[in-house]
Structure 1
Amino acid sequence: MISRKASLVLVGPALALMATLFLLPLGYSLIWAFREEEADRWGLGNFAKAWEFYSADILFSLVIVTLSTVLIGIFSIAIAGYLTLGRIPWAVALLRWLYRWPLFIPFVVAAQVMRTFLAKNGMMNNALVELGLLTPFQTASFLDWRGIVITFVWKQTPFVTLLVAGAMASLDRSMIEAAQNLGARRGRILFGIVVPQVAQTLMVGLILSYVTMMSVLSVPMMINAQQPTMLTVDMAWRINAYGDYGVANALGFIAYLMTACVTWVYLRKELRERGAHAR
């Protein structure tokens, strides 16, 4: 067996790296969000300025990420459910092969792909025109908030689906088969039997996706060249254009609170369920 000291030696470099590259910058950013450099004092001036200039962007970020998370959950359940309950072998195999592709594409590449796909003269509109569904004068650009949502959903759905499909595959098939023998439809089996048993895994995947989308800079910057925009663009703008780290740190603090609230709700629910099981 590995001794306790040897275990500490093994995990020490990883902990040191995480503390140096993540915890230290995070703590510095959170603390100095309260530092008003112009007035040489500590206070809430940076937060007041952030809300005055970027309140619309704060609400925009919250709406975009929340909407994307909901859609990711819906599509993940649908895809994972078909992989688990689908009755057409070739369709299941094809879906299993196709849905994972966005996993290996970085966000910056995904944003560039969507710029080409969703533009007014992009691939999507050209295909609709060729099919006779639209005329060239009816085409419209989706390079706005819709493009951000589409990119986020397309990029993150495979990640959540992979987790949920794995959890569904590990379930005891006897309950599913019993429901099928009794004539239950696949939708009722999915939402009445399968989804409640993988809800915890689904929640973990959605929270991780929520946090990831809140931190992405390339997608809103490359797709949505208008106002309002997301907080990551505002933070980059305050630093690059003004060298204003105080307001940028305040915006980061607000984004951190938005993600922390979601995580807190999940942790509270998890602790409540564990306490109920312990009784």
Structure 2
Amino acid sequence: MTAELEAGPAVVVRPATAAAAGRTRGLLMALPPMVLIAFFIGFPVVLAFGFSLGFTGGLNRTIALIGQNVHTAHGIVPTLSAYAEMFTNARFLGDLVVTVVVTVVSTTIVIALAVGIGLYLKFSGGLIGKVLSALAVVPLFIPVVIASWAILGFYSANGFLRSVAAQFGVDFPIWSYTLVTVVIGSVWTSLPFATLLVSSGLQAVPQAMIDAARDAGASFWRVVASVVVPMAGVPIIIATTFTAIGILGSFTVPYFTGPNSPNMLGVDMSNYFSAFNQPQQAVVIAFIVFAIASGIAAVYVWANFRSAKESGAV
């Protein structure tokens, strides 16, 4: 009895208090990277967005003084003059259309190749399947700059294809410095990741579902269209969104292999900022690309939410 009195009353930890303490500790552990992201990424993004709306004071004052054709807001009222200027610029509109077309065409080719390779691995495999999967991921280990120069030389006026075609009296077209090489380079650089993601999704389709469809009399293409692709739909959608966003904002491939005009918006941003000395217009282009990418990212978020819902996590 004396020992119990000396020990004092026991401390009771309430579950709600323990949960709150755990959340606080988790927040403190995640706070350093969040602060770094907010300071080095979030704050400059907000600053740049204000500059695109004409707020040229404060930290934007220096670049506004150096840059040309800067639109300034009146007091605290933002101005959309820079955006209006770009959307009435025939050069920019042409480059915007080119960017969207190249992104759609390149993404379609990448996903078609990735699905084709994944289906072959799923249904056939063997040596050919292993060779295809290995060749598909080779670009992952080759720097984009080197690949761009190789593609440029391969399709140039004295490149490999024209040299071989000339032996048979065929005048093969020159594709270097055209949008064709931009599409080829975009497919080359985007195919490895898409192949890995799509192939893993197709491999996860239960074989029992395929066998059941075959037992019901479904043909190969019916099995693919009604069973395999729908069940691997989420990985395919995720691969599509990642590929589209990567191509949409690409710079190296269109810069090295594409024409001077029209070209993609990634190159346009660099030209407006450095060559034309119009930083505000470059920021406007960046936010236009960001808006398009956000629309694509919304599909990615939906696909992730659907995947989590199907797995029972939501």
- TM bin, normalised by shorter chain, reads 0.7 to 0.9
- Cα distance in 2, alignment partners of residues 40 and 68 from structure 1: 38
- Structure 1 residue identity aligned to 2:82: N
2:128: which partner in 1? 91
Greater RCO (Cα-Cα under 8 Å, separation 6 or more): 1
Tell me by how many angstroms 1:14 deviates: 3.0
5+ unaligned residues in a row in structure 2: which ranges?
Answer: 1-20, 56-63, 65-69
User: Per the alignment, in what secondary structure is the counterpart of residue 151 of structure 1?
Assistant: helix
Task: From the superposition, tell whether residues 220 and 271 of structure 1 become closer, same or farther in structure 2 (CA, over 3 Å).
Answer: same
1:14: which partner in 2? 33
- Cα distance in 2, alignment partners of residues 49 and 91 from structure 1: 53
1:40: which partner in 2? 72
> Which aligned pairs between 1:199-238 and structure 2 lie closer than 5 A?
199-238=233-272
Query: Radius of gyration: which is bigger?
Result: 2
Match of 2:288 among 245, 248, 254: 254
1:24: which partner in 2? 43
Does the Cα contact within 8 Å between 1:85 and 1:186 map onto a contact in 2?
no
Tell me by how many angstroms 1:70 deviates: 1.6
Which stretch of structure 1 is more off in the superposition, 115-124 or 149-158? 115-124
CA RMSD of aligned residues (A): 2.8
Does the Cα contact within 8 Å between 2:234 and 2:307 map onto a contact in 1?
no
User: Per the alignment, in what secondary structure is the counterpart of residue 100 of structure 1?
Assistant: helix
Task: From the superposition, tell whether residues 179 and 218 of structure 1 become closer, same or farther in structure 2 (CA, over 3 Å).
Answer: same
Match of 1:124 among 157, 161, 164: 161
User: Per the alignment, in what secondary structure is the counterpart of residue 174 of structure 2?
Assistant: coil
Does the Cα contact within 8 Å between 1:111 and 1:151 map onto a contact in 2?
yes
State, as a whole percentage, how many aligned pairs show the same letter: 23
- Cα distance in 2, alignment partners of residues 186 and 261 from structure 1: 35
Tell me by how many angstroms 1:251 deviates: 0.7
Tell me by how many angstroms 1:113 deviates: 1.9
Tell me by how many angstroms 1:125 deviates: 2.7
Tell me by how many angstroms 1:10 deviates: 4.2
Q: Deviations over 1:169-208 (max 9, x none)?
A: 1221111233345564433322221110111111111111
Q: Normalising to structure 2: TM-score of the pair?
A: 0.77
Q: Deviations over 1:84-129 (max 9, x none)?
A: 1125x11112112221111223332321221122212222333444
